[in-house]
Amino acid sequence: MKTIGLLNILKRSIMRERIMHDAKTMPARQFILLRTMSHP
């Protein structure tokens, strides 16, 4: 059961890394729109 928790933490950190990368590459408005769509 501990491995599932670790996987979730890993997945979350990867998603955060991707969001940070996208924030650098795409315009801020588009980035905010994408975030509000993916996180209701």
Q: CA dist 33 to 5, 10, 14, 28, 36, Å?
A: 29, 25, 20, 9, 5
The token duo for 34 is 């994408």
pLDDT of res. 8: 92
For the chain, the domain total comes to 1
pLDDT of res. 34: 76
Longest dimension (CA), the chain: 40
- Mean residue pLDDT across the chain: 80
Q: Which structural domain range is residue 29 located in?
A: 2-38
pLDDT range class, residue 30, cuts 50, 70, 90: confident
